[in-house]
Amino acid sequence: MSNEIRIISREDLPKWLDQMLGTFTVVAPTRQDDYTNFGVITSGNQADFDAVNTRMSPKQIFFPKTERLFGFATDRQQVKLDDTPQQITPQVLFGVRPCDARSIAMLDKVFDTDVYRDQQYVSRRKATTIVSLACKQLAPSCFCTRLGSNPADMAGSDLLIIELPEDRFAIGTLTPKGADLLTAADLPAQATAQDAQAFDKAVRIAQDTTVKPIDSDKLAAKLARIFDSAFWDRWHDRCLGCGTCTYLCPTCHCFDIADEAKNNTGQRVRNWDSCMFDLFTLHASGHNPRPSQRQHLRQRVMHKFSYTVDRYGQAFCVGCGRCVNRCPVNIDIREILDELEDYQGG
């Protein structure tokens, strides 16, 4: 568990952020009309410490919706490539919910492999300290506990903040990077033994759940078995193929690569893509191995709950509930999981 606990009052939280602003770019949940989203703050007061879940996940901090891979300039015969890396400055990602922090640890498995390292992603990860905020309450759409996680999960975080009674917060140190951020700050005070106990107790309470988590290995094997079954016959009936679920999902990471050019100069860019779209798998020859919405939806479920278990050893869903909340036709992944667990067909 955590090596060191510090304590800060609610009143001092924004001041701590102000201190960080001297050294870091700070990204935190900020209010925008009736929802919150991650944004760069210029004052600690702009951060929203009570937002249950931001509308967009923080994945775009590391894996932007669109990003330049390199620039090019061509004339008739010559090509000049410009691969100057983008300037990446030290930043703090503050107030991330543990489900989202966990999703970042999952994305690391995709983008930071021994064979092919995604340099821009890895540089941003290295330059970022993640400070998570344990959840006091779950939203109606939250289901992290079904994925074997909990509201004080430490995966992916450098520091984890847990709210204690009387508007005080305990900060647990999880990594050397987190420790560095704390060392640099003079605001969070040393915790008493009692506070440290309170932190550990809160973690235990968060872990003590009555929800039975899915057995991801068993589910992965079952999904592989029922690939061709009638289970997939109806979920897609109302799917519009809009891709909202994949864009909001903190672990969805599929992307497109395209060239943007005008007058012989341009750039190669990488954009978020979605398995919900026909074009996603369409060959130039016209052949499409996954032409229908039935296959698109099955691919999404299989990718999250079977293929990633095979490849990375865990289901790529953190139970944040964004896809449940924002699907325009109320396709609910929790219902699919429930029915999958009960499904007896082959």
* CA 286 to each of CA 13, 269, 276, 278: distance values in angstroms, whole numbers, following the listed order: 56, 24, 18, 11
Strand pairing of 159-164 and 128-133? parallel
By beta-carbon proximity to another protein, the closer residue of 257 and 329 is 257
Q: Does residue 125 bind another protein (CB under 8 A)?
A: no
Q: Are 191 and 5 in contact (CB under 8 A)?
A: yes
What gap in Å lies between CA 304 and CA 317, rounded to an integer?
A: 6
Assigned token pair, 199: 């932190």
From candidates 284, 330, 344, 345, binder to another protein by CB under 8 A: 284
Assigned token pair, 211: 């929800």
Q: Does residue 210 bind another protein (CB under 8 A)?
A: no
DSSP, residue by residue, 245-272: HHHH-SS---EEEEEEEETTEEEEEEEE
- Mention every residue, 6+ apart, whose C-beta is less than 8 A from residue 79: 72, 73
User: In this structure, which amino acid lies at residue 316?
Assistant: F
Stretch that binds another protein, among 5-13, 20-28, 87-95, 254-262 (CB under 8 A): 254-262
Q: Does residue 286 bind another protein (CB under 8 A)?
A: yes
From candidates 205, 230, 257, 329, binder to another protein by CB under 8 A: 257
By beta-carbon proximity to another protein, the closer residue of 199 and 272 is 272
Q: Does residue 116 bind another protein (CB under 8 A)?
A: yes
Tracing tokens 């410009």 back to the chain, one arrives at: 82
By beta-carbon proximity to another protein, the closer residue of 43 and 265 is 265
Report the sign of the C-alpha dihedral through residues 169, 172, 177, 183, in that order: positive
From candidates 21, 55, 127, 280, binder to another protein by CB under 8 A: 280
- Mention every residue, 6+ apart, whose C-beta is less than 8 A from residue 344: none
What gap in Å lies between CA 33 and CA 314, rounded to an integer?
A: 36
Stretch that binds another protein, among 125-133, 146-154, 163-171, 279-287 (CB under 8 A): 279-287
Neighbours of 76 (CB within 10 A): 5
Q: Does residue 40 bind another protein (CB under 8 A)?
A: no
From candidates 37, 119, 123, 293, binder to another protein by CB under 8 A: 119
From candidates 275, 317, 320, 336, binder to another protein by CB under 8 A: 275
x-or-dash string of contact with another protein, 61-90, rule CB under 8 A? --------xx-x-x-xxxx-x-x-------
Q: Does residue 235 bind another protein (CB under 8 A)?
A: no
Q: Does residue 293 bind another protein (CB under 8 A)?
A: no
Total residues in contact with another protein, by rule CB under 8 A: 53
Stretch that binds another protein, among 2-10, 29-37, 108-116, 180-188 (CB under 8 A): 108-116
Angle at Cα 107 formed by Cα 143 and Cα 24, nearest 5°? 100
Q: Does residue 343 bind another protein (CB under 8 A)?
A: no
Assigned token pair, 12: 């001092």
Give the strand order in the sheet containing 168-173: 35-41, 25-32, 91-96, 128-133, 159-164, 168-173, 5-9, 189-190
Provide, rounded to whole angstroms, the least separation between the CB of residue 12 and another protein.
Answer: 41
Q: Does residue 290 bind another protein (CB under 8 A)?
A: yes
Q: Does residue 266 bind another protein (CB under 8 A)?
A: yes
Q: Does residue 306 bind another protein (CB under 8 A)?
A: yes
Assigned token pair, 162: 């847990």
From candidates 115, 165, 193, 233, binder to another protein by CB under 8 A: 115
Provide, rounded to whole angstroms, the least separation between the CB of residue 279 and another protein.
Answer: 9
Q: Which residues bind another protein (CB under 8 A)?
A: 69-70, 72, 74, 76-79, 81, 83, 110-111, 113, 115-119, 224, 227-228, 253-259, 261, 264, 266, 268, 270, 273, 275, 280-287, 289-290, 295, 299, 302-303, 306-307, 310-311
